Amino acid sequence: MEWSFKQLSDWRAATGSVNRLKETNVKHAQKIKAKWVTPDAGCLKLNVDANIVPGSSSFAIGMILRDHSGQYLRGKVMKFEREVYVFEAEMVGIEDALSWILVKTEGKVCIESDSLLALAVQAVNEGSSNQFEIGHTIQACRLTLAARSNVSVQHVRRLANRAAYLMERIPYELNSYIDVMSPPCNVLESMMYDVLST
């Protein structure tokens, strides 16, 4: 009986958290960036996007690191063979972006994601405990952010994250990643548009 009551309580807490996150996102929808904005001088911006491949049990993550002038510094694409929900794929993307940035730079970095309803970004930035199945991933992201005060995670709209969206669509083999040293052709036009529209 006690176990069942705890399960029901945990479920209510988890669904309540999701509903609160959705409500918060709707209230702040006007503030979300609709186009890519260059970071401040001396800062870097890392855009990350996750995609579940339709009709398969795999998902892909793409990320692109740029400086204050919009200059491409580095990119990364990954593909995993496992079935996940969109929220989990986005959390894996943010976690990997945080790990990757720890190795690549020590300066100020803003990580941007267009995660569905901003749930992944809010889960990382929210200070309360969570009941999600991937709570360990969320906690790992929070610990990394706590250790690096010069790194932040923000939510943006799809148009502001288009370069990362295009990166994750680069074809490659399952269960591997590619460190992309120069911008792929399909990303160049989007990068040029980002810089010209700022």
Expressed in angstroms, the distance from the first to the final Cα of the chain is 59
> What is the residue-wise DSSP string for 102-116?
HHH--S-EEEEE--G
The Cα–Cα gap between 115 and 160 comes to 12
The Cα–Cα gap between 59 and 46 comes to 20
Domain boundaries, the chain: 2-196
The Cα–Cα gap between 89 and 129 comes to 20
Q: What is the pLDDT of residue 59?
A: 92
The Cα–Cα gap between 119 and 39 comes to 23
Nearest to 49 by CA among 182, 192, 134, 159: 159
**Which letter does DSSP use for residue 182 in this model?**
S
Q: What is the pLDDT of residue 32?
A: 64
Q: What is the pLDDT of residue 176?
A: 79
Contact 37, 198 (CB under 8 A): yes
Q: What is the pLDDT of residue 115?
A: 84
| Under-70 pLDDT residues of the chain | 1, 4-5, 7-8, 11, 14-32, 117, 127-132
Work out the burial of residue 79: count CB atoms within 10 Å of its CB; fewer than 13 is exposed, 13-18 middle, 19 or more buried: buried
Q: What is the pLDDT of residue 119?
A: 83
The Cα–Cα gap between 102 and 144 comes to 9
Q: What is the pLDDT of residue 195?
A: 86
The CATH architecture annotation of domain 2-196 reads 2-Layer Sandwich (3.30)
Q: What is the pLDDT of residue 150?
A: 93
This model's pTM is above 0.75: yes
